[in-house]
Amino acid sequence: MAQAPQDSRDLTDRFIQFYRKYYSDEIGTLAQQYPNEKRSLYVDYDDLYAFDTELAEDYRKKPDQIREYAEEALRLYDLPVDIKLGRAHVRLMNLPETVDIRGIRVHDDHIGRMIAVQGIVRKATDVRPKITEAAFECQRCGTMTYIPQADSGFQEPHECQGCERQGPFHVDFDQSEFVDAQKVRVQESPEGLRGGETPQSIDIDLEDDVTGRVTAGDHVMVTGVLHIEQQTSGNEKTPIFDLYMDGVSVEIEDEEFEDMDITDEDVAKIVDLSNDPDIYEQMVASVAPSIYGYDQEKLAMILQLFSGVTKHLPDGSRIRGDLHMLLIGDPGTGKSAMLQYIRNIAPRSVYTSGKGSSSAGLTAAAVRDDFGDGQQWTLEAGALVLADKGIAAVDELDKMRSEDRSAMHEALEQQSISVSKAGINATLKSRCSLLGAANPKYGRFDQYEPIGEQIDLEPALISRFDLIFTVTDNPDPETDAELADHIINTNYAGELHTQKSKIPSSEFTDGEVEDATEEVTPAIDAELLRKYIAYAKRNCYPTMTEEAKEVIRDFYVNFRAKGAADDAPVPVTARKLEALVRLSEASARLRLSDKVEHQDAVRVTDIVESCLRDIGMDPETGEFDADIVETGTSKNQRDRIKDLKHLIEELEDEYEEGAPVEEVIKRAGSDLGLDETKAEDEIENLRRKGEVYEPRQNYLRTT
């Protein structure tokens, strides 16, 4: 810098003046803690702007050059202690505006500038040393040649600086310089997306003291310098470039951050709506109006959007307020459409399929891929992490990967996901509500089998759901006629609306179009509903009234009592109690009430009872049976399986070759009252479970 031109000297002096005025304390602290605890001076853009508008703007336009002066000024600064801030960084933060990741464009002159982006960390590599200057020792003469290393590839010397021969060289790591390096991929936040856009992302290189601070799933604001890098195809360069950022500073955003402006006018509308006696009906009518019926499912989905209150107990434990809901149904019943609709009205949501669209699937994964420089372990957040503080709508949940199945229990109950693999140990937050849809095990429901046995998800996972709805497609002339009318009218409304907008001379009047479309127009439009939900979640923390407590307690006790007589199965487990509490809190939130009242408790016990009736009832006995939900097998059936196995054991003793199948079926009929089909089914069940086998055809042995 000795021969630096006059204006650069000026710039360095200008920064020294700026530091004296605004940052002398911070620099003092930095000097005391340098280099082990602190290696950066964080400069707030507002301070620099207040000090020198032009300098601040120049810093954003030419960040790489101006930073050199800012850091030189730091090295020249008079320090209270005798220490040199040789390699301290100056990190600018808090830029006045952020750029949408999808909005980064060449013609906007973003390239080479300092910008700030906001989003969620989708992927993060582990932190690894990266060589910045390699020291090559000549094996012939011993001279050291130092080669600065760029971001891509590894540069070796053309010739030795001593003997001018081409080596061979040996890299001396002690004499080389390394820096901690990490790469992260930041994706647009779910709440910033509208109408199902695919989220865009940008990769960010981090170095030194800003590495290792963020992990997959964190909401961040990153300030950095935007660069471009030429894409290659094999060894060929292509005319297309990729964008990436050199990260300057990274701030983890407040978790409650919601990018939603709710104006005073909005609040007035919301409060007004909440006082409407028909608010529950209006809300239901606002969910997927083109899908006929399913009012109870729609109400439950609305309650899920509002969610219960997350409770923190004095001992530090936490009870989740998020509701998990599962729709299991015959194909063609509109499950997917309902899920998609929820995505449109949830303030923060992620929509995916059980198969997942990335290697992280639904939960999270540590993967070794070429996301970083070379093969490196990367932690990637899946749908439930990306939906933290929101809703994850997962279609085809039954098709999820086996890795997800095991991680799901923790994700749903503790609302976190632990990843421990290849030195990566991380716990990611997944405080979201899961709205899942699944098909019955054999594609379609069999009305003669308990529904609990027709769900292709393990019982322990099923029991994590607060509500399970079964959507069956059974012919019924009356409802079929209504459904047909609804679909025809919906399409007719669409035809009128389209014709009117395409052909101005259409014979239909505005009034006619309006009449036809009224039925399929949501009662509350999606934009307002989204704000309503965000407002309620931010401002309402209802508590239970005595009346509400009593309704829920009685419901539980009565249901249990039905199962208490004789040897009847236990109908409902305590897990359902917490579900009832969560649902009734959501019901109170829906009308912006800070009290959970009698009506809330009644509303939700009705929903829970009808869900249990659908799923927890043993079609053979007509009794409620929690075992069907919690273990996948009804008590009645478990008894039957035990009896049948016992019978086979007895027959085994009588026949040398094993129990003849024909005889087993005959005795199952006479001794156990099982008809032939049932007996065959149960034998097949035993065989599948490995409890019996066929030593030869048509003979059985127990294991």
Closest CB to Zn ion among residues 159, 456 = 159
Closest CB to Zn ion among residues 135, 417 = 135
Closest CB to Zn ion among residues 138, 222 = 138
Cβ 167 to Zn ion shortest distance, Å? 7
CA atoms within 13 A on the CB side of 110: 23
From the number of C-beta atoms within 10 Å of its C-beta (0-12, 13-18, 19+), residue 611 rates as: buried
Cβ 83 to Zn ion shortest distance, Å? 37
Cβ 27 to Zn ion shortest distance, Å? 43
| Strands 114-125 and 376-381, sheet pairing | antiparallel
Question: Could you tell me which stretch among 96-104, 161-169, 407-415, 646-654 binds Zn ion (CB under 5 A)?
Answer: 161-169
Closest CB to Zn ion among residues 9, 140 = 140
- Residues 69 and 62: their CA atoms lie apart, in Å, by 11
Question: Could you tell me which stretch among 143-151, 269-277, 319-327, 482-490 binds Zn ion (CB under 5 A)?
Answer: 143-151
**Which residue type, as a one-letter code, is found at position 669?**
G
Site string for Zn ion, 542-571 (x = CB under 5 A): ------------------------------
| Residue 168 makes contact with Zn ion by CB under 5 A | no
Closest CB to Zn ion among residues 29, 143 = 143
Closest CB to Zn ion among residues 80, 142 = 142
- Residues 91 and 43: their CA atoms lie apart, in Å, by 6
| End-to-end Cα, the chain, rounded Å | 85
Closest CB to Zn ion among residues 165, 553 = 165
| Residue 302 makes contact with Zn ion by CB under 5 A | no
Strand, coil or helix: 222: strand
Question: Could you tell me which stretch among 159-167, 246-254, 450-458, 549-557 binds Zn ion (CB under 5 A)?
Answer: 159-167
- Among positions 103, 129, 162, 673, the unique one binding Zn ion when judged by CB under 5 A: 162
Cβ 154 to Zn ion shortest distance, Å? 20
Q: What is the dihedral of CA 56, 62, 68, 72, to 10 degrees?
A: -30
How many CB atoms are located within 10 Å of the residue 466 CB?
Answer: 30
Question: Could you tell me which stretch among 47-55, 140-148, 249-257, 648-656 binds Zn ion (CB under 5 A)?
Answer: 140-148
Site for Zn ion in 354-393 (CB under 5 A): none
Site string for Zn ion, 607-646 (x = CB under 5 A): ----------------------------------------
Closest CB to Zn ion among residues 161, 558 = 161
Cβ 133 to Zn ion shortest distance, Å? 19
DSSP 599: H
On whether the CB atoms of residues 378 and 371 are closer than 8 A, the answer is: yes
| Residue 138 makes contact with Zn ion by CB under 5 A | yes
| Residue 141 makes contact with Zn ion by CB under 5 A | yes
| Residue 159 makes contact with Zn ion by CB under 5 A | no
Cβ 86 to Zn ion shortest distance, Å? 29
Strand, coil or helix: 337: helix
Instruction: Tell me which residue of 437, 465, 394, 450 sits closest to 294, measured CA to CA.
Output: 437
- Residues 51 and 144: their CA atoms lie apart, in Å, by 45
Closest CB to Zn ion among residues 61, 140 = 140
Cβ 164 to Zn ion shortest distance, Å? 7
Closest CB to Zn ion among residues 158, 646 = 158
Rounded to 5°, angle at Cα 127 from 123 and 130: 120
| Residue 135 makes contact with Zn ion by CB under 5 A | no
Q: How many residues does the chain have?
A: 703
Closest CB to Zn ion among residues 166, 231 = 166
State the residue for tokens 């027959």: 651
Q: What is the dihedral of CA 667, 671, 674, 679, to 10 degrees?
A: -30
State the residue for tokens 């032939």: 676
- Residues 413 and 639: their CA atoms lie apart, in Å, by 31
**Which residue type, as a one-letter code, is found at position 574?**
A
Which secondary-structure segment (H or E) carries 279? helix 279-285
Contacts 24+ apart (CB under 8 A), 645-652: 645/686, 645/691, 645/692, 645/702, 647/671, 647/672, 648/686, 648/692, 648/700, 648/701, 648/702, 649/702, 652/700, 652/701, 652/702
Cβ 140 to Zn ion shortest distance, Å? 5
Closest CB to Zn ion among residues 164, 527 = 164
Site string for Zn ion, 95-134 (x = CB under 5 A): ----------------------------------------
Cβ 155 to Zn ion shortest distance, Å? 17
Question: Could you tell me which stretch among 104-112, 157-165, 207-215, 285-293 binds Zn ion (CB under 5 A)?
Answer: 157-165
Cβ 170 to Zn ion shortest distance, Å? 11
Closest CB to Zn ion among residues 143, 358 = 143
Cβ 163 to Zn ion shortest distance, Å? 3
| Residue 140 makes contact with Zn ion by CB under 5 A | yes
- Residues 247 and 116: their CA atoms lie apart, in Å, by 9
Site for Zn ion in 213-252 (CB under 5 A): none
On whether the CB atoms of residues 699 and 652 are closer than 8 A, the answer is: no
Closest CB to Zn ion among residues 140, 687 = 140
- Residues 38 and 208: their CA atoms lie apart, in Å, by 11
Two structure tokens written together for 687: 């065989």
Q: What is the dihedral of CA 533, 534, 537, 538, to 10 degrees?
A: -150
Question: Could you tell me which stretch among 44-52, 65-73, 139-147, 572-580 binds Zn ion (CB under 5 A)?
Answer: 139-147
| Residue 160 makes contact with Zn ion by CB under 5 A | yes
Q: How far is CA 196 from CA 190, 259, 395, 600, in A?
A: 10, 17, 14, 32
Cβ 160 to Zn ion shortest distance, Å? 3
Cβ 21 to Zn ion shortest distance, Å? 51
Cβ 169 to Zn ion shortest distance, Å? 8
Closest CB to Zn ion among residues 142, 148 = 142
Contacts 24+ apart (CB under 8 A), 662-670: 662/698, 664/700, 668/644
- Residues 61 and 24: their CA atoms lie apart, in Å, by 26
- Residues 187 and 204: their CA atoms lie apart, in Å, by 11
Question: Could you tell me which stretch among 137-145, 280-288, 402-410, 596-604 binds Zn ion (CB under 5 A)?
Answer: 137-145
Q: Give the count of residues interacting with Zn ion (CB under 5 A).
A: 7
- Residues 368 and 563: their CA atoms lie apart, in Å, by 52
Q: Is the dihedral of CA 394, 397, 401, 407 positive or negative?
A: positive
Two structure tokens written together for 595: 């009290």
Cβ 174 to Zn ion shortest distance, Å? 19
Cβ 165 to Zn ion shortest distance, Å? 6
| Residue 163 makes contact with Zn ion by CB under 5 A | yes
Closest CB to Zn ion among residues 135, 493 = 135
Q: What is the contact surface with Zn ion in residues (CB under 5 A)?
A: 138, 140-141, 143, 160, 162-163
